[in-house]
Amino acid sequence: MNDVEQVNAPEFLWAAGATGLLKLGTRVSIVGARRASPDGLKRAAKLARILAENGTVVVSGLAEGVDTAAHEAAIAVKGGRTIAVLGTPLDQVYPKKNAALQHRLMDEQLVVSQFPPGHPILAANFIRRNRVMALISDATVIVEASDTSGSLSQGWEALRLGRRLFLMRSVTTVPGLKWPAEMRRYGAEVLAKPGDLIDALPKDVRGAADCPYFRRLRS
């Protein structure tokens, strides 16, 4: 990792599942609101499906809303791959309604956490989780988010790291929403339709995830 990547990088990641996904092809984070609109959920699912169909690993945070839609759409594709990055230790589930999905991803895909077993669930965990998602992804897409959404922390971290940040066009046209214009001033790009992302993705994969700092833990 370079000096910029090391600033917010955890010393270890605990992992359950196919750790090879951290080095397999391009990784794209799909993030957004927990209380997403029906259209937002559809956009997240469509994007995840298109990425998975094109061999891209979908990364998200296993939260309600956009995250869940992205994971479920990715694994619905034959051969689709996804990585869930948790804001809890691997031996805990948040939200509880995603318990079955988390265990399935541990068995069939990959789930990672920077928090050791027994670590408390704190609000600050999820900001730290978002920074790790930005770190292990080649690009991040924000589907839908308010001005106070935690997803914005990942957008800013992606920009700080020099990773590409895409904003769904629909979110850039929401009246009164301030963050899209601000992030665009710092280099975020507008994503008009999901298919445009495929051509925009990096052809040579590089990133912190290629460093051997992962520990494996099954629960």
pTM of the model: 0.91
Residue of 81, 67, 64, 101 whose CA lies nearest to 24: 81
Model confidence pLDDT, tens digit, residues 151-186: 999 999 999 999 999 999 999 999 999 999 999 999
Domains in the chain: ranges and CATH: 3-200 (3.40.50.450)
| DSSP-derived pairing of the beta strands 13-17 and 27-31 | unpaired
Q: How confident is the model at residue 217 (pLDDT cuts 50, 70, 90)?
A: very low
165 and 159 Cβ atoms separated by less than 8 Å: yes
Model confidence pLDDT, tens digit, residues 102-121: 999 999 999 999 999 999 99
**Residue 13: beta bridge partners?**
214
Model confidence pLDDT, tens digit, residues 120-150: 999 999 999 999 999 999 999 999 999 999 9
Instruction: Report how far residue 49's alpha carbon sits from residue 119's, in angstroms, rounded to the nearest whole number.
Output: 33
